[in-house]
Amino acid sequence: MLSYKARRRLSLVALLVWLPLYIVLAVNLVAMFDRPGVLWELLIFAGLGFLWMLPLRFVFLGVGRADPDAENGERPRK
């Protein structure tokens, strides 16, 4: 299991590197085919918008909470 700090760093990399790459890949994938109707296009992008996070779900769990390994009196750094 990854430590809290490792998960925070990995989630930051995922949001700054993986997500923009995934957006470019998703748009290019949809552009390879004839443009569907507006409703279908909305459903496709909503589905692709949900799928990007599934492989990284374990990284994002608990990242927004306080560090469980920190001492009680210690405030987390921002």
pLDDT digits (tens, 9 = 90+) for 63-74: 888 887 777 655
Tens-digit pLDDT profile for residues 3-25: 888 888 999 999 999 999 999 99
Q: What is the pLDDT of residue 35?
A: 87
Is the confidence at residue 78, as pLDDT, over 80? no
What's the pLDDT score for residue 28? 92
In our burial notation (b when 16+ CB lie closer than 10 A, e otherwise), range 30-58 reads eeeeeeeeeeeeeeeeeebeeebeeebee
pLDDT for res 56: 83
